[in-house]
Structure 1
Amino acid sequence: MKVKIEVLAENMDEARIAEVELEQILSLVASNHDAPSDILNVMSKAKSTGVLMEVAENPNTDLDTLEKLIADKSPEVRAAVAQHPNAITFVWKLATDESPLVRYCLAMNPNFPEHVYQTLAKDENYRVARRAKRTLSRVKAADSLVANIAHFFTARKAS
């Protein structure tokens, strides 16, 4: 499906304003969590980094589309993929990305097993390593809290 939108403008300023407005509309659609994956797939062909980032962050974006987006030249787009709930599928490709921004965003994502953070904690970029250590600490604290709550309710049920 190809969509071509032409703007009839009397001058370049009007054309640029229309282009910016269109980009804002596309970003709003791409950020909508009710947007269907097939629409997000079409939008993943946009040239706007902002639109691509919104597509990458949308939880409805399918794995095939995310896989295309991790090949994008923009580190911001790849970093947005690293924040996706299903980034685990591409975790090692993202963990070895040339951009520290991508690795940092990956280290912020709390949805991975501990060994991912342990690997990122050894990153050559100290900010990435520090972020991975913080996330690992928070994940362990959350796991401990869940275990304590489960123990409390199990003990309470037994008495």
Structure 2
Amino acid sequence: MKRDLFKWTKSIAVCVLFSSTAFSQEEHLLITTPQVKISYVRGVCDVETGKQAYQFAFLKIENLTNANLHTGFNIVVQYDEGCAGCNGSDESLYYLSLTPNQVFTADCGTDEKSKIYLRNPNFSGAWNFQELRIENLVVE
């Protein structure tokens, strides 16, 4: 009985460790200039009631200056199976105005452009995320 309790406790501890590591708040730097820094963290959002949460990348955009900035860029999501936003189309364009030294951080409640869909674990044919890129950055 004691041995079974120890194995059960050990199994739970390992699961908690791996699940928190899989979606830790580790920040991934995408691009930095003297004016702006763009990074992201991975996370999950409940999208469908009773289903596993979807996986997203939440953009973090920092104005590194003491002036108002307007920035635009394409968001490219590379998967093992293909690419979303690789053609530089209007669908992948994102624009944001930032006040001096503002830090914008996306979350589950923000718009779809700054909360980037990565994977739906409920769909067996879901593509496998590789990397996120910023292309065609314009800062004014």
TM norm. shorter chain > 0.5: no
Bigger relative contact order, structure 1 or 2 (CA pairs below 8 A, ≥6 apart) = 2
- TM-score w.r.t. the length of structure 2 is 0.25
Question: More strand by proportion, 1 or 2?
Answer: 2
Mark the structure with the bigger radius of gyration: 1
Question: More helix by proportion, 1 or 2?
Answer: 1
